[in-house]
Structure 1
Amino acid sequence: MDMAFNLRQEQSHKLLLTMEMKQGLDILQYSLDELDRYLEEKLADNPVAEYRSPYDHYVIPWPSLPGTFRRTHADGDDSWSLEERIRAEESIEELIVAQLRLMDAPNQVIELACRLVGFLDEMGYLREPMAELTKELNMSVEAIEEAINLLQRVDPPGIGARNIKECLHLQVGRIKEPLRQIVSILVEEHLDDLAAGRHKSIQRALRVSGEALQRAVEALRTLNPRPASLLGGYRPSYIIPDVTVEKVGSQLVVLANRLASPRIELNDDVWKQSGSKETPPDVRAYVDSHRKEALGLAKALRNRSTTVVRVADAILHAQAPFFERGRGALLPLTLRDIAVATGFHESTVSRTVRGKYMQTPHGVFELSYFFTSRIPSSGGLTSAEAVKEALRQLIATEDPRTPLSDDALATLLVNRGIEVSRRTIAKYRDEMGILSSVKRRRFG
């Protein structure tokens, strides 16, 4: 069998990423929180560099908490750094147990109630079946019920509820009479009717006026179906803008937020000492490699900051009407548009806008917010966000007794020259957390 081997010379282009390039791309893509964790880990054992987290000096207000759980800074100042805020934050379990320990009840009941705290979910509910609780705790149903009753006395009301109906019942006592009785009946018998918008049916069953029912429903909406949230059962995210838009003279400009910039400080004394003749070669190499690593990270941070500012500046110019007039003036924008304006690759723009925030005259927005799809309009094209803003305005000014249906909203927008379907209206309304017309209707 003859075998022929042919040699051919081909030219191909391959992009080989060096470790330095990969590190730079990672750092560009990281959000500030991810970047902080990455740098802290990278520089934890570096003998020639000290890492300065942006959270060390970025101050946020301490939010008010219910009851006695508000903390005060040692020097009386109500401002805490983010690091202090997170470090001082107690878990929901600790807060509930602290209350139980102060209650007037037999010790065995308190101890059992404290054990039940471990079964609460993130909303503060006790959903574990009684059969499982008796097995896990090796206690009788009667003992567990007594401990649950004690647990349900902690603040805020609703903690320890087995379901949403019980959770709301535990809070009804906050509502003043005569509404309390109507709200209690609504919780017990008509939650499904309320969800389905069967208001006339509820009126007939309760024999109350539309106005009285409206007041009761508004009172019901003040109750919290997620009681654990009031105790820090969820941890809110704190946003530090990477860039700010400020007016300089008559023009708006993008500035890097220096408080949001992690810092790497080099200790040159250690490096210089390692260069002495008495220093063993392996120690000298160790220190030198760590110094190079720190310098590389510092360079990547500078490049990240420069890139974010350039992309943000391109967004500022591309979305000029937004910065002048607000959300309703947001224009269609794609990653490619900004790539062309900056000379960056689309993938670089995508990495840059991920998890980065801009402080604007109209609030703080993630850079990705400014990229929105194109929708036909009489003026050419408009953005999806501008359509949402138009919807917000229409719904805010509707007659609450006869709220606008999705079909009606679509017709009004078409009359304004914005071509959207009823299905698109429903999609945008859901994304904005706005109820359907049936559920928005007021009956007073």
Structure 2
Amino acid sequence: MTPDLRRAIGLLKLSNQELAHEIALEARSNAALVLREPAQDLALSIFRREPHRQPPLAVPGGGGGMAEALGVAGSPGLHDHILSELRLSLRSADEIEIGEVLALSVSPWGWLDRDLGEIADELGRPVAQVEAVLRKAQQIEPAGLLARDLRECLWLQAADRDVLSPVMETILDNLGLLGAGKLEELADLAATSTDKVRATLALIRSFDPKPGLRFDPAPPPESEPDILVRRKAGGWVVDLNRSTLPEVSVDQDDAHTSEQRKKAEVLVRAVSRRNETLLRLAAEIVRRQKDWLEQGPSHLAPMNFATLAAELELHETTVGRLAAGRMMATPRGAVTLRALCSAAIATQNGDQVSAVALRHRISGMIAQEGRRPLSDAQIAARLEADGILLARRTVAKYRAQLGIASAAERGANSGVGCV
């Protein structure tokens, strides 16, 4: 194995933040390695100093551990919440069509992640019509959803709380100054005192800059996601999370030894190879799981490391190293790449359904069973009628994985016997 390949393999298992730490350690001992940290968002830094995250909303209709058993962000999530609310407030078919595209165009934070002109062009609608639907969509609770940037997200929340004073508006129009701690300059702009600016800052810190995360039923990830998935015209765009990745290059100054430059060059090539391979893997997963992104867990496609490796012409162990622990932020929540892999179960007509989609289907049946709980045998019979052969004991296993009690226990809890 060449030094380049050995180093690249060693970096495959690292998350973006772990990779940044590794590069920083190398840069301390090698002056030929140039490290440029990613630019930080000063405005968001006011929330980093005093972390603020609302607890996740409850996921109705499922037992304890359902989201974990599904392996991917459960339903209902951010998409479903926005869509269900829009269908209550929008009347015409044209408005609903625009609303559906808006719902698919939110980032995991809950912000609108596409330009309105791009959406208008895709739908063949006037920008003014898209903007009118957006204004209605921005009335959805919690306030701040479908904002186009941090300022608008906070503005919507200030308006919702009826605290949108002239001082508040001035501060929201100058969030960069607030993040830089230039309170006196803000006080001059707002024609008020620094004490009033501090009081307004305290109020702003009580807002939620990322309201979309409240709809992710999975626990918040311990680190920032490595990959970002966004809806764009004609499909989905996959990118590395550059806010967690430093840029590295080699300083060719003669002051550095040839050994230092050689080591730096090996690391730079290894980082580039690692990033390129991770991006290729994520893009292939998103291509295969497009239906999951757009329609939810019941549409998760069967997928495993072997098929991914064959498609990408990589070794299966390489795919395993890349997927282990790598987080991907999507409008359906933050998920690991590994969680989107699910075993295939054959149907009678020769098609395949993923085990995750099947568990979600069983959960949906139970959620809609009414006053008479369905037994595992009845669920198996309904699945067989749809062409899916599943033994009763397998249904029982999947139900247990979902954290859902047996029919007898559900009947006892509701005071109704099972049939």
User: What's the TM-score, normalizing by structure 1?
Assistant: 0.49
Task: Find the aligned partners of 2:35 and 2:367 in 1 and give their Cα distance.
Answer: 48
Residues 1:262 and 2:233 are matched in the alignment: no
Question: Retained in 1: the 8 A contact 2:20–2:245?
Answer: no
Closer, same or farther: CA 409–58 of 1 in aligned 2, 3 Å: farther
Aligned to 2:149: none
Residues 1:272 and 2:253 are matched in the alignment: yes
Task: Find the aligned partners of 1:60 and 1:393 in 2 and give their Cα distance.
Answer: 42
Question: Retained in 1: the 8 A contact 2:17–2:244?
Answer: no
1:322 alignment partner, one of 271, 292, 311: 292
Closer, same or farther: CA 308–394 of 1 in aligned 2, 3 Å: same
Aligned to 1:30: 14
Task: Find the aligned partners of 2:41 and 2:329 in 1 and give their Cα distance.
Answer: 15
Task: Find the aligned partners of 2:295 and 2:405 in 1 and give their Cα distance.
Answer: 27
2:236 alignment partner, one of 227, 233, 252: 252
Q: How is 1:357-436 mapped onto 2 (pairs within 5 angstroms)?
A: 357-379=327-349, 380-399=351-370, 402-436=372-406
Question: Retained in 2: the 8 A contact 1:59–1:80?
Answer: no
Task: Find the aligned partners of 1:346 and 1:338 in 2 and give their Cα distance.
Answer: 8
Aligned to 1:294: 264
Task: Find the aligned partners of 1:32 and 1:436 in 2 and give their Cα distance.
Answer: 42
Residues 1:309 and 2:279 are matched in the alignment: yes
Residues 1:340 and 2:310 are matched in the alignment: yes
Shift in Å, 1:430: 3.1
Task: Find the aligned partners of 1:273 and 1:409 in 2 and give their Cα distance.
Answer: 73
Question: Retained in 1: the 8 A contact 2:17–2:245?
Answer: no
Question: Retained in 1: the 8 A contact 2:304–2:341?
Answer: yes
Closer, same or farther: CA 419–40 of 1 in aligned 2, 3 Å: farther
Closer, same or farther: CA 340–27 of 1 in aligned 2, 3 Å: same
Aligned to 2:76: none
Question: Retained in 1: the 8 A contact 2:229–2:330?
Answer: yes
Task: Find the aligned partners of 2:396 and 2:354 in 1 and give their Cα distance.
Answer: 17
SS at match of 1:43: helix
Task: Find the aligned partners of 2:42 and 2:387 in 1 and give their Cα distance.
Answer: 46
Closer, same or farther: CA 53–436 of 1 in aligned 2, 3 Å: farther
Task: Find the aligned partners of 1:251 and 1:432 in 2 and give their Cα distance.
Answer: 31
SS at match of 1:365: strand
Closer, same or farther: CA 306–60 of 1 in aligned 2, 3 Å: farther
Shift in Å, 1:236: 6.7
Shift in Å, 1:53: 6.5
Deviation by residue 1:196-252 (Cα, 9 ceiling, x = unmatched) = xxxxxxxxxxxxxxxxxxxxxxxxxxxxxxxxxxxxxxx974242222222332222
Question: Retained in 2: the 8 A contact 1:245–1:359?
Answer: yes
Aligned to 2:135: none
2:48 alignment partner, one of 79, 85, 89: 79
SS at match of 2:253: helix
**Corresponding letter in the other structure for 2:331:** P
Task: Find the aligned partners of 2:313 and 2:229 in 1 and give their Cα distance.
Answer: 22
Aligned to 2:63: none
Q: How is 1:71-110 mapped onto 2 (pairs within 5 angstroms)?
A: 77-80=46-49
Question: Retained in 1: the 8 A contact 2:4–2:266?
Answer: yes
Closer, same or farther: CA 310–429 of 1 in aligned 2, 3 Å: same
Comparing 387-396 and 248-257, the one that deviates more: 248-257
Q: CA RMSD in A?
A: 3.4
Deviation by residue 1:264-310 (Cα, 9 ceiling, x = unmatched) = 365x4xx6362xxxxxxxxx54xx43333233222212111111111
- Count, aligned residues: 248
**Corresponding letter in the other structure for 1:397:** Q
Fraction of identical pairs, as percent = 30
Shift in Å, 1:426: 2.7
Gaps of 5+ in 1: 1-16, 62-72, 86-234, 275-283
Task: Find the aligned partners of 1:438 and 1:58 in 2 and give their Cα distance.
Answer: 54
SS at match of 1:433: coil
SS at match of 1:418: coil
Task: Find the aligned partners of 2:414 and 2:360 in 1 and give their Cα distance.
Answer: 26
Question: Retained in 2: the 8 A contact 1:60–1:80?
Answer: no
Closer, same or farther: CA 423–30 of 1 in aligned 2, 3 Å: farther
Task: Find the aligned partners of 1:420 and 1:53 in 2 and give their Cα distance.
Answer: 52
Task: Find the aligned partners of 1:428 and 1:261 in 2 and give their Cα distance.
Answer: 39
1:241 alignment partner, one of 209, 215, 225: 225
**Corresponding letter in the other structure for 2:47:** D
SS at match of 2:29: coil
Question: Retained in 2: the 8 A contact 1:358–1:367?
Answer: yes
Shift in Å, 1:395: 2.1
Task: Find the aligned partners of 1:79 and 1:365 in 2 and give their Cα distance.
Answer: 22
Shift in Å, 1:382: 0.8
Shift in Å, 1:322: 1.9
Question: Retained in 2: the 8 A contact 1:58–1:260?
Answer: no
**Corresponding letter in the other structure for 1:291:** R
Shift in Å, 1:375: 0.7
Task: Find the aligned partners of 1:257 and 1:347 in 2 and give their Cα distance.
Answer: 24
Shift in Å, 1:21: 1.2
SS at match of 1:331: coil
Question: Retained in 2: the 8 A contact 1:414–1:420?
Answer: yes
User: What's the TM-score, normalizing by structure 2?
Assistant: 0.51
Task: Find the aligned partners of 1:78 and 1:361 in 2 and give their Cα distance.
Answer: 21
Task: Find the aligned partners of 1:265 and 1:250 in 2 and give their Cα distance.
Answer: 35
Shift in Å, 1:327: 1.2
Question: Retained in 2: the 8 A contact 1:52–1:264?
Answer: yes
